[in-house]
């Protein structure tokens, strides 16, 4: 299949390319990027007014497989990724069983590859069962394809264990991805500890619970030389800790999630448990700080923390409903609406945080439009206005706090290895 994208604004942050030109794809590869290409194509896509960018990379998704097919499967998760413009994803290991053995890791990688919708990569757990008690065989898991180690959903509390994990990860050259939460301070809260949690009678999740672990893990990275990736930073002081660590040369990267730069804890007053996520939505001051962190490069990556749950689970009372929200299909809309169109990031800066930068953190061959590279391409209509309607999601779950929200900017086509895996162009 030969495809010619004509006259699109081609943005490839890896080469600082940003101009209106053509892209020609053949046999699953980008063959040429250049003006007025005359190649014979099976399909010519008029990309006038659209952005043609490297396939997006999300290094933080929960596909719930094995164990929770009622929430999501690797198939529905892949379809959701494709609809959002993501061509490569990294799965988190808090499945059942957890991704803590080579068998389970292989199951996830093989299932993703067999489906062939998007490129499915996986993390592996730091401790068996994500229970924080016994380290997994990090070396074997790395050899079998794990791109990062994480107990995401929890923090490893035992400093002896974690110190050893950092030392072994340093030798392997693989990053530790850290979900930061001091469990002994959390005390069954559901929302950010503040005015909203008080009003709803919730004990609250204090910002310092996240910040203590960010600080601790930065020290472990500094001490061992391991690479550390801080997941879903939600607090102003958390951003500042990472900024200071980077300034003194610690090998730390970090991600911001669309919900953490788009909405505050007040969203819980509007949509209840749909706004329950961990780390929680915080205050307007924290949202500002996350945006500043994205602007000055403290936060290298935009990652969704796509976390599907069933309607039944989310209909439980606030203290019993699970944490998390789906994010793959709203990420581009939220990024363009709240960052690009508000002048917080240029389109190229935003695309870098969704492509080459996350790929670099996890060492993935992804996030670039290099000629001769595999043709993973996303087409974005930056001005398309649309209203979020969870009924139309490809994900098996509908748990979003953005239901009914008007956004500007949308993925309109996704291509993986030269094959179109999602399209809503009328051409």
Closest distance between Zn ion and the C-beta of residue 231, in Å? 5
What tokens were used for 29?
Answer: 């590869």
H and E: helices and strands count for the chain: 15, 15
Q: State the Cα–Cα distance between residues 103 and 342, nearest whole angstrom.
A: 46
Closest distance between Zn ion and the C-beta of residue 277, in Å? 9
* Binding status of residue 276 toward Zn ion by CB under 5 A: no
| Interface pattern 146-165 for Zn ion (x via CB under 5 A) | ------x-------------
Residue 50 main-chain phi, psi, to 5 deg = -110, 160
Contacts of 190 (CB under 8 A, 6+ apart): 197, 202, 205, 273, 276, 280, 318, 319, 321, 323
DSSP 8-state class, residue 250: -
Stretch that binds Zn ion, among 61-69, 179-187, 254-262, 328-336 (CB under 5 A): 179-187
Phi-psi region of 80 (alpha: psi -120 to 50; beta: other; left: phi over 0): alpha
The b-or-e profile of 181-219 (16+ CB within 10 A means b, else e) is bbeeebeebbbbbbebbeebebebbbbebbbbbbbbbbe
Stretch that binds Zn ion, among 174-182, 311-319, 357-365, 396-404 (CB under 5 A): 174-182
Closest distance between Zn ion and the C-beta of residue 276, in Å? 13
| Choice among 265, 305, 376, 381 that is catalytic | 305
* Binding status of residue 179 toward Zn ion by CB under 5 A: yes
* Binding status of residue 309 toward Zn ion by CB under 5 A: no
* Binding status of residue 217 toward Zn ion by CB under 5 A: no
**Per rule CB under 5 A, count of chain residues that contact Zn ion:** 2
Q: Give yes or no for a contact between 351 and 243, defined as CB atoms under 8 angstroms apart.
A: no
Helical (H) or strand (E) element with 199: helix 195-199
What count of residues does the chain have?
427
Closest distance between Zn ion and the C-beta of residue 147, in Å? 16
Closest distance between Zn ion and the C-beta of residue 323, in Å? 8
Nearer to Zn ion by C-beta: 52 or 228?
Answer: 228
Residue 378 main-chain phi, psi, to 5 deg = -120, 135
Nearer to Zn ion by C-beta: 10 or 146?
Answer: 146
Does 42 qualify as catalytic in the annotation?
Answer: no
Closest distance between Zn ion and the C-beta of residue 400, in Å? 17
Nearer to Zn ion by C-beta: 24 or 63?
Answer: 63
Peptide bond into 308 cis (omega under 30): no
Stretch that binds Zn ion, among 178-186, 267-275, 309-317, 321-329 (CB under 5 A): 178-186
| Residues 95-154 contacting Zn ion, CB under 5 A | 152
Q: Give yes or no for a contact between 418 and 1, defined as CB atoms under 8 angstroms apart.
A: yes
Nearer to Zn ion by C-beta: 5 or 68?
Answer: 68
Stretch that binds Zn ion, among 175-183, 358-366, 371-379, 412-420 (CB under 5 A): 175-183
Binding residues for Zn ion (CB under 5 A): 152, 179
Residues noted as catalytic: 305
């Amino acid at each position: 299949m030969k495809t010619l994208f004509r006259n699109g604004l081609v943005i490839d942050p890896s080469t600082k390319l940003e101009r209106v030109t053509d892209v020609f794809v053949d046999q699953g590869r980008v063959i040429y990027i250049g003006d007025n290409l005359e190649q014979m194509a099976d399909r010519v896509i008029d990309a006038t007014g659209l952005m043609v960018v490297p396939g997006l990379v999300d290094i933080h998704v929960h596909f719930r497989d094995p164990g929770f097919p009622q929430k999501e499967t690797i198939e529905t998760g892949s379809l959701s990724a494709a609809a959002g413009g993501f061509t490569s994803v990294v799965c988190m290991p808090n499945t059942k069983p957890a991704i803590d053995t080579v068998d389970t890791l292989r199951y996830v990688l093989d299932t993703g590859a067999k489906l062939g919708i998007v490129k499915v990569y996986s993390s592996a757990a730091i401790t068996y069962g994500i229970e924080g008690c016994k380290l997994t065989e990090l070396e074997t898991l790395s050899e079998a394809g794990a791109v990062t180690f994480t107990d995401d959903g929890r923090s490893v509390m035992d400093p002896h264990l974690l110190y050893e994990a950092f030392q072994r990860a340093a030798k392997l050259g693989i990053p530790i991805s850290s979900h930061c939460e001091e469990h002994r301070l959390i005390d069954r809260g559901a929302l950010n500890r503040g005015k909203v949690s008080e009003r709803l009678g919730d004990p609250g999740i204090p910002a310092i619970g996240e910040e203590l672990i960010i600080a601790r893990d930065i020290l472990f990275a500094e001490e061992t030389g391991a690479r550390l990736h801080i997941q879903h930073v939600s607090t102003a002081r958390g951003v500042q800790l990472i900024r200071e660590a980077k300034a003194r040369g610690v090998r730390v990267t970090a991600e911001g999630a669309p919900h953490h730069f788009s909405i505050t804890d007040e969203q819980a007053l509007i949509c209840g448990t749909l706004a329950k996520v961990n780390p929680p939505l915080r205050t307007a001051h924290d949202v500002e700080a996350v945006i500043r962190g994205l602007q000055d490069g403290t936060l290298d990556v935009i990652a969704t923390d796509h976390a599907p749950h069933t309607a039944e689970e989310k209909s439980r009372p606030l203290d019993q409903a699970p944490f998390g929200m789906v994010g793959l299909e709203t990420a581009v809309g939220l990024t363009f609406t709240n960052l690009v169109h508000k002048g917080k990031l240029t389109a190229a800066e935003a695309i870098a945080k969704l492509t080459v930068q996350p790929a670099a953190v996890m060492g993935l061959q992804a996030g670039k439009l290099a000629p001769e590279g595999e043709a993973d391409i996303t087409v974005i209509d930056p001005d398309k206005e649309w209203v979020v309607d969870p009924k139309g999601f490809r994900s098996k779950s509908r748990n979003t706090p953005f239901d009914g929200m008007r956004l500007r900017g949308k993925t309109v086509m996704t291509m993986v290895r030269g094959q179109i895996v999602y399209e809503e162009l009328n051409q």
